[in-house]
Each structure stands twice: as structure tokens, then as C-alpha cells.
Amino acid sequence: MMTAPDSDLITFGPYLSFPGLRMRFDRNAEVFGEGEAADFIYRVVSGAVRTMRFSSDGRRQILGFHMPGEIFGVETGPTHQATVEAVTGAEIVLVRRSLLEKAAADDVRAARCWLEFTASHLRRAQDHAIILGRRSAAERVAAFLLAFSNQGARSSELDLPMSRADIADYLGLTIETVSRAFSDMERRHVIDLPSSRHIVVRNRSTLLDLQAA
């Protein structure tokens, strides 16, 4: 597929677009680290990234994944609050944050777009908290697949860019538990697993039931 003409822009809502610099990150490369100065904002062109935080004892919690088109790394404070790494090889567009700051300082519509963006992330974080706080392993994995099938492909075929370890650290589970949940779903003909990262949703309504929203 050809690269879209706006692929080196970061577009915030209907009004603002900024020209950016495109960079390539290898699999597992760090885009930025927690505590670093937040001088840029980012957009995924191709590939996928994960945002995450670590405990002092090394445990990892993945806060979310960002797919092509999505903007990430936007802060209101001076530093990044999380670490972001490339899940797969990824192309990322960078824009100086000062451009966004300037736009938001000059134009309330720009400021509003930024606000809406942050509010949508807040909503996602709250949904995530509900999954982590009150759902069983099977429910978490079902919810993950449904969320991913909504944001990603339109069809019932999903290509997961991330490993079982990534999914586990996103859902607050272990690799083995995630794997068993997938196997159970396959055994029950809810999904097919032609390969470990390619998933065919066979029975979406059962998946919705499993999720127990």
C-alpha cells in the first residue's frame, strides 16, 4: 500500500495539523522513557507501540497500545509519565510540542481539540481500570479481543502485533493464563488460531457474552 500523503502530519481534531519528522524504530526500541523531557508529540504511521510503567521491583504494566494513525506522548507537564516502545518495527512522526502549545495558546478551538484528546484517553484509562479490577481472566481476554477488533480491522480477522507477554502485562495476567484463555476459546469454537498472532473471530456474540461487560 502507498503511504498516505498526510502521513508526516500530526492532525489534532478537525482544525490543526503540524508537519513532523518521520523516524523509524526497531522492534522493542524505546521511543521515549518515563521522566524524560516531553518536548515532542508522536503519531504512529505504521507498526504499533506500547505505553507502559514499571514498578521498582521490575513488574511491568502496559497502559495501552497505539495503532497506526493514533497520537501518543502528549503531556501537559514537563516530562513523560510513561515509557513507550515499539511493539513491532514502526514508523513514527514527531512534532515539536511547542507547536501544539502555541496553537493552543492562540486558538481556543485548538485547545479544545487537545482537551478532547486527553478526555478520550481518560475514558480509556477508566475502562482499563474496570477490566483490571473486576474481571476474570477469560473476561479480560475477551474484552481485549473485542476492543482490538473495533479499533483495528473491520472484519473478523485480527493480526495482533504484540506478544502474549505484552497482552499479559496489559491485562494484569501471566503469559500462561493468556495462552490458556486463547486455547479455551479455540476449543469452544469462539475463535480460530491459524497462527499464534492471527485470530479469526468465529462467534462474536459468544465473545460479547464472555466479556461480561
Question: Given the rule CB under 8 A, which residues bind a copy of itself?
Answer: 53, 55-57, 59-61, 63, 75-77, 81-82, 104-108, 111-112, 114-116, 118-119, 121-123, 125-126, 128-130, 132-134, 169, 171-172, 212-213
Residue 22 has a CB neighbour count (10 Å cut-off) of: 14
CB nearer to a copy of itself: pick between 165 and 212: 212
Residue 181 has a CB neighbour count (10 Å cut-off) of: 23
Binder of residue 4, out of a copy of itself, DNA, none (CB less than 5 to 8 A by kind): none
* CB of 211 vs DNA, minimal distance in Å: 13
AA letter at 70: E
Binder of residue 105, out of DNA, a copy of itself, none (CB less than 5 to 8 A by kind): a copy of itself
81 belongs to the binding site for DNA (CB under 7 A): no
d(CA 59, CA 97): 30
* CB of 1 vs DNA, minimal distance in Å: 20
Please give the C-alpha separations between residue 125 and each of 122, 128, 152, 160, 207, in angstroms, as whole numbers: 5, 5, 18, 21, 22
